[in-house]
Amino acid sequence: MDDSSLLQSSHRTNVATELRTRPSRRVRSSNVVGWLFVVPALVMYAAFVLLPLVLTVQYSLYHWDGIGPSQWVGLKNYVTVLTDPDLLGVILNAFKLIVFFTLLPVSLGLVVASIMRRVATGRFGTMARTILFLPQIIPLVAAGIAWKWVLSTSGVVNQILSAIGLGGVTRAWLGDFDFALPAVGIIGAWVLIGLCTILLLTGMSKIDPALYESARIDGAGAVREFRSITLPGLRQEIGVCITVTVIAALASFDIVYVATGGGPGLATTVPGLDIYQLAFAGREVGLASALAVVLFILVLACVLPIQRLARGDET
């Protein structure tokens, strides 16, 4: 911490001396031109992000069906979001998805990446990387459609289960109250495993190989090596994986919309989908907006601590 503030202040003095040594007219004109450079980006951002953000907060304080006159209700919509069992269940679903979107891809990614680092070199490694990355570049809608078919009654999953004698557990996975949410979670995990694996693999390649060699000489096994060298060296990459996947879980929409539409019942409804349904089908714009604000705050509340932890003793 001390180091970083020191760096910042020395950096600030640099800027200050630089400003002082330049002729003042030039500073002023370069500032004016500089501001002109920022204006286009700022205008687009203000018009299509900041303004809607302010409007969301404003809508959230009203009862409005989207057509007729609106009525001021203060914080009532927020009270509803935080007390209504259905809405709380919807928010909870997003957190349950974190188990599948984050825990599964990051832990599996660690295992797969350490295997790849040791055994998958050359052509086989390149091919494995390319294939693992595929889910990352196709639209999530496509992942949803493909998996909806894979998990359907006559889909591959049931086919395989029957083939290995587990015909008794086959079911319509996405239509089952207990299994629909985990099934959606599996789709998310499938999308994110490749990204996590390859991010972690890149991180591993930055770890000094000499560390591994000396560990070998000291007689450390694969597990010990992983815990004492690989894991600490990957702190930043793991932080990135967790951040990206947690946001993907909390703000999920596409996969759920396509695979289950939020059903059965509300079993797989997540905040993003509920905002859409409340605002455009339920005509509850105020409530939808309050849920949107809560979602944004939840994302920030989850992401900021992760960022702080991951960057802890860096800088």
Of 59-118, which residues contact another protein (CB under 8 A)? 59, 66, 108, 111-112, 115-116, 118
Q: Which of residues 169-188 bind another protein (CB under 8 A)?
A: none
Rule CB under 8 A: choose which of 6, 7, 50, 92 binds another protein.
Answer: 50
Burial of 49 (0-12, 13-18, 19+ CB in 10 A): exposed
Q: Which of residues 231-270 bind another protein (CB under 8 A)?
A: 237, 240-241, 243-244, 247, 250-251, 253-254, 257-258
Backbone φ and ψ of 91, nearest 5°: -65, -40
- Nearest partner of 186 among 264, 97, 109, 273, judged by Cα: 97
Establish if 35 lies at the interface with another protein (CB under 8 A).
Answer: yes
Nearer to another protein, 21 or 83 (CB): 21
Q: How far is the CB of 40 from another protein (least distance, A)?
A: 4
Backbone φ and ψ of 268, nearest 5°: -120, 15
Stretch that binds another protein, among 1-9, 68-76, 177-185, 287-295 (CB under 8 A): 287-295
User: Position of tokens 């960057």?
Assistant: 311
Establish if 295 lies at the interface with another protein (CB under 8 A).
Answer: yes
Q: Is 302 helix (H, G, I), strand (E, B) or coil?
A: helix
Stretch that binds another protein, among 69-77, 121-129, 176-184, 225-233 (CB under 8 A): 121-129
Q: Is 128 helix (H, G, I), strand (E, B) or coil?
A: helix
Please tell me the distance from the alpha carbon of residue 76 to that of residue 60, in angstroms, as a whole number.
9
Per-position x/- string for 152-171, each x denoting binding to another protein as judged by CB under 8 A, each - no binding: --xxxxxxx-----------
Rule CB under 8 A: choose which of 10, 20, 119, 210 binds another protein.
Answer: 119
Stretch that binds another protein, among 27-35, 85-93, 175-183, 224-232 (CB under 8 A): 27-35
